[in-house]
Amino acid sequence: MSPRVADKILEDSLLRDTLLSTADARAHVVVVFADLRGFTSISEQLDPNRVVPLLNEYFSLLTEITFRHEGTVFHMAGDGLMVGFGVPLAQPDSAQRAVRAAREMLSSFGELARSWKERYQIEAGLGVGINEGDVVAGNIGSASYMNYTIIGDTVNVAARLCQRARAGEILFSSALKHSLDVYGVDIGATSLPALQLRGRSHPIDIFCVPLESRMQLSAGPIAA
């Protein structure tokens, strides 16, 4: 987690004890998944000893951005990253923080991808999925290994949205759209046909940043 969030936890003995316990806690959060596009091709073109430094560059960039917006990194595997806002500390503006972070991830990764193309002649992109809702946060695992993480349908939907997002796109749920609307935040969202997810009884309404706007995502801060 970001140093600022860690300091707040260390200053609060009750919160610290809660995070270290095995008790689960419900929380309302915004979940962001970011996934590298073109990783399979990159792995095929480059030797493993070159792929690892690229992944380290990629994860370092996205982690630094997450921490700047006081998010928490919950999962990092393969070429995918899961972060959360509003947990372990509540953040009334978690939706705005998440969108700011996602915008910065896309714009900054664009620069990194251009660098990779110059150095290694490879093509790469980034897709982002965001969802908002209730989760269960807690230490999950075994007696020998535990990990503080978040689970629930909110997380699953965010992951599926990320899978659907094309390179350079932010794909997000109506729950997040509602939170942004409440604060008067407009990122030029375009409504897409409702998405039917496997295992869910009802489709969900989804939105995205239009393809023609995706290269301008970093043009100025989001108004609160």
Flag the least confident range among 13-27, 77-91, 128-142, 143-157. 13-27
Answer yes or no: is 52 within a domain.
yes
Tell me: pLDDT of 93 over 90: yes
Q: Does residue 5 sit within a domain?
A: no
- Examine residue 13 and state whether it is found in any structural domain, yes or no: no
Residue 147: pLDDT over 90: no
State the pLDDT at residue 101. Answer: 96
Burial profile 179-194: b = 16 or more Cβ within 10 angstroms, e = fewer? bbeeeebebebeeeee
Does residue 20 belong to any structural domain of this protein?
Answer: no
Tens of pLDDT, residue by residue over 161-178, are: 999 999 999 999 999 999
pLDDT-based confidence at residue 198 (cuts at 50, 70, 90)? confident
114 in any annotated domain: yes
Query: Domain tally for the chain?
Result: 1
Assign residue 65 the CATH number of its domain: 3.30.70.1230
Looking at residue 201, its pLDDT comes to: 78
- The reply to whether 2 falls in a domain is no
pTM: 0.86
* Of residues 132 and 185, more confidently modeled: 132
Is residue 221 in a domain? Answer: no
Mean pLDDT of 56-83: 95
CA dihedral 154, 81, 87, 68 (to 10 degrees): -140
The DSSP annotation for 123-150 comes to --EEEEEEEEEEEEEEEEE-SS-EEEEE
Q: Is residue 17 part of a domain?
A: no
Supply the mean pLDDT for the chain.
Answer: 86
Domain that holds residue 68: 25-216
Alpha-carbon distance of 71 to 138, in angstroms, equals 16
